[in-house]
Amino acid sequence: MANTVSNVSAGKPNASGSIYRAPAGTTLPTDASTALASAFVCLGYASDDGLKNEFSTEDEVKAWGGDVVLSTKEDKFTFTLIEVLSPEVLKVAYGDTNVTGTSLATGVSVAVNDTQQGGSVYVFEMLLGKDTLKRIVVPKGIVSEIGEIEYKDDEPVGYEITITCGADEAGNTHYEYLKTASV
């Protein structure tokens, strides 16, 4: 097979939004371009670190002689949300039930605790090259880590979020869809 330059690409966020979240059980998109259900909320700007996906072997069980007889994989996505004044972003970081209020004008409160957050559906949308849409759908994403939050006068505050992907009924941890965009 010949090398094809047109198959090389960078992942740029869609202009209309790139990271979306919806409650668990929301109908999942099954292609790269159909409009998302109204339950999906755009989480605003992410940092220029972009989106990272780590799919790695978590544990391997070896039999006598060294054969791997069981392994578990872990699928994670990491991104940094920088619209830290958004109640929707605060809900991702601290949990839906720990954030009250819907606007800064009327006030927002955050309770920080170790309450386990429930899972959500996440969708990541991007443009590869000039005309290829890519949509990643995580049916069961659980916030498993929040990075160090840094407050400095020369950098935006951000919530570095790592979500761990649980398997759905089909045993899949995420789906990827690609399609040439209509021009």
**pTM for the predicted model, two decimal places:** 0.86
Going along 14-155, which residue ranges are E strands? Answer: 19-23, 41-42, 52-62, 68-81, 99-103, 107-110, 120-128, 132-146
Spatial separation of the C-alpha atoms in residues 155 and 148, rounded to whole Å: 14
Domains of the chain: 12-30+37-180 (2.30.110)
Report the DSSP pairing between strands 11-13 and 99-103: unpaired
* Half-sphere exposure in the Cβ direction for 157 (13 Å, CA): 12
pLDDT, one tens digit for every residue, the chain (183 residues): 567 766 665 666 666 669 999 999 999 999 999 999 999 999 999 999 999 999 877 676 778 887 776 666 789 999 999 999 999 999 999 999 999 999 999 999 999 998 888 899 999 999 888 888 999 999 999 999 999 999 999 999 999 999 999 999 999 999 999 999 875
Q: What is the DSSP letter of 24?
A: T
